[in-house]
Chain A
């Protein structure tokens, strides 16, 4: 039995459909990341699970019990908000212990539990402070502690790291993942940052316009994206797409719109002549002096560990990433060849994967 099960969830605000028929089963202890561009409905879905937003139709089951109409307090779910939402008039200890106090626990038990939670989060010395006296990272930890202290059935995170600076974000990312490994609580994590989703989640659910585009393990999504949207959304820098036509008879080839011929692995002959998008990730290009195709260098971006080069290739602007250092300059010409075993083919109309 799944820990949390969503069936045919629909939600509209006025005439705008936000969620269209979302179904998802989440296992006990799983770390799920909901990702998608802004406006895709991921935050609304999270708020529906929390009980902060009513749903139009569909069912939510928590541990086999239907909770559609349960109030947030009856759901036994904790949530970490994007702006932390700490109570400004309470100390850190009161913030952490608020839910326990409401549940009618004895003061001694509350303070014992608060200290238990505060210590591993590094908040033990800050219990008498008020939220405004804390740094961004400390506030983030208090918000997490407030969720942990109740021992809830599930954690919901709503873009919790988006208000932190880049360095702290990476550090908190690791802390949240370590926390999940320690507690093993079912977690649903909303983010628009696909790197966060890739690094933290057991399973990623990609949403777009209120529809689940694809759900799966991070590397499965990376290696075999089900459609062109997921292919372009997952991975940074994102996948390059070249529009053209398939030639499946004889030696399979891809003919780009400007006539460039690109290599392919085996392709079913039924696809001959089909208009497709030819997708290659930036790291799946090789410099090939014999069979390579000429590409003009536009911009070179060294990141230290990798070199990203923006090029004009087969009539398209693409990005290529090299692990080794390339001494290219703008205006230079490189001979590039995509690795055929890493080529993704998508239908030009529907965007669905073909190979």
Chain B
């Protein structure tokens, strides 16, 4: 262990050094031991973390600064929630609620349609299985911008432009591919013998799915749901193009703070913080499942 630690080596060297002066080596040795006690890997990780987190932390501190000291250089200031307060008194709250409704609805619908589809694609060995699964994935291969004009024209024709339902449908089409592909790996990791045992014990196909397969894939289901929610929640592009006033989502509403009269920095910062919040909370809650979700099926249990 110590050979891997440069600090420890330094300490050992200092210790072995000649002791001509009684005070000097003792001081050097103490310093070396101090240095040895520092775990440089932790330091590197912290530095990297700070670099990555800096824009986010800056955004959060900006949202808490009083309006008259927005670009002040001192990090010492009296935090105030004024920007949040004014934000929630305006139209932003409606957009935030709309974001929540649209993301929740599209996540729920994606799971409702995608989970049974993934199950069927995993368990039912029909001829076109692989081809259908690939087609589902192909919908995610083209860049989103390729679909904007068709979506826009179709929505204008059908009256779905600037409606929550319209956004739900767009996000549904994108999330379905995620749900189907992620859940396939989870279902494939459940041994079929468990379902057969359930059939023998008196379950039908649906009962075995609900009582045995689904509870065993619950962590994966949660991870998939969070991914879907975050993708819908974070979408800016489609919400910008397909909504105008009634169905704007929070990310789009932030842009409205950039006006001719000036940019409302404190509101932008506060709104950005509010939009980040659920994503951070969900990710922290299910992060171990997310990692397992990414690697599910890669190693035999």
Listed in ascending order, the chain A residues whose CB lies under 8 Å from chain B are 50-52, 71-73, 77-79, 81-83, 85-89, 98-99, 102-103, 146, 150
**CB <8 Å contact, B215 and A85:** no
Of residues 193 through 234 on chain B, the ones whose CB sits less than 8 Å from some CB of chain A are 193-194, 196-204, 207, 212, 215-216
CB distance from B207 to the nearest CB of A (A): 7
Measured between beta carbons, the chain B residues less than 8 angstroms from A71 are 199, 204
A-B contacts, 16 of them at CB < 8 A, read A50-B196, A72-B200, A73-B199, A73-B201, A73-B204, A77-B200, A79-B200, A83-B193, A88-B216, A89-B212, A89-B215, A98-B198, A99-B201, A102-B202, A102-B207, A146-B201
Given contacts A71-B199, A73-B199, A79-B197, contact A85 B191 (CB under 8 A): yes
Measured between beta carbons, the chain A residues less than 8 angstroms from B191 are 83, 85
- Greatest chain A CB density within 10 A among B191, B198, B200, B204 is at B200
Measured between beta carbons, the chain A residues less than 8 angstroms from B215 are 89
Q: Which residue in A52, A88, A89, A150 is a CB contact (below 8 Å) of B199? A: A52
Measured between beta carbons, the chain A residues less than 8 angstroms from B197 are 79, 81, 85-87, 146
CA distance A48 to B261 in the complex (A): 78
Measured between beta carbons, the chain B residues less than 8 angstroms from A81 are 193, 196-197
- Greatest chain B CB density within 10 A among A72, A78, A86, A150 is at A72
Residue of A nearest to B216 (CB): A89
Main secondary structure of the interface of A (DSSP, over half): loop
Given contacts A52-B199, A71-B199, A73-B199, contact A85 B193 (CB under 8 A): yes
Measured between beta carbons, the chain B residues less than 8 angstroms from A83 are 191, 193
Counted as pairs of residues, one from A and one from B, with CB atoms less than 8 Å apart, the total is 56
Given contacts A88-B216, A89-B215, A102-B207, contact A72 B199 (CB under 8 A): yes
Measured between beta carbons, the chain A residues less than 8 angstroms from B203 are 73, 102
CA distance A77 to B199 in the complex (A): 11
Q: Which residue in A52, A77, A79, A85 is a CB contact (below 8 Å) of B194? A: A85
Residue of B nearest to A51 (CB): B199
Measured between beta carbons, the chain A residues less than 8 angstroms from B196 are 50, 52, 72, 79, 81, 85
Measured between beta carbons, the chain B residues less than 8 angstroms from A77 are 200
- Greatest chain B CB density within 10 A among A50, A71, A85 is at A85
CA distance A98 to B191 in the complex (A): 18
**CB <8 Å contact, A99 and B212:** no
Measured between beta carbons, the chain B residues less than 8 angstroms from A78 are 200
**CB <8 Å contact, A73 and B200:** yes
Given contacts A52-B200, A73-B199, A79-B200, 5 further A-B contacts (CB under 8 A): A52-B199, A72-B199, A78-B200, A83-B193, A99-B200
Q: Which residue in A88, A89, A102 is a CB contact (below 8 Å) of B201? A: A102
Measured between beta carbons, the chain A residues less than 8 angstroms from B198 are 87, 98
CB distance from B209 to the nearest CB of A (A): 13
Measured between beta carbons, the chain A residues less than 8 angstroms from B212 are 87, 89
Measured between beta carbons, the chain B residues less than 8 angstroms from A85 are 191, 193-194, 196-197
CA distance A166 to B301 in the complex (A): 24
CA distance A143 to B191 in the complex (A): 16
Measured between beta carbons, the chain B residues less than 8 angstroms from A88 are 194, 216
Residue of A nearest to B199 (CB): A72
CA distance A88 to B198 in the complex (A): 12
CA distance A71 to B199 in the complex (A): 8
CB distance from A33 to the nearest CB of B (A): 20
CA distance A81 to B198 in the complex (A): 12
CA distance A103 to B219 in the complex (A): 28
**CB <8 Å contact, B193 and A99:** no
CA distance A98 to B216 in the complex (A): 16
Residue-wise, chain B 29-73 has the 8 Å CB interface mask toward A (1 for contact) of: 000000000000000000000000000000000000000000000
**CB <8 Å contact, A98 and B199:** no
- Greatest chain A CB density within 10 A among B191, B197, B202, B215 is at B197
**CB <8 Å contact, B202 and A73:** yes
CA distance A103 to B201 in the complex (A): 9
CA distance A159 to B198 in the complex (A): 19
Residue-wise, chain B 176-196 has the 8 Å CB interface mask toward A (1 for contact) of: 000000000000000101101
Residue of B nearest to A99 (CB): B201
Residue of B nearest to A143 (CB): B197
Residue of B nearest to A78 (CB): B200
Measured between beta carbons, the chain B residues less than 8 angstroms from A99 are 200-202
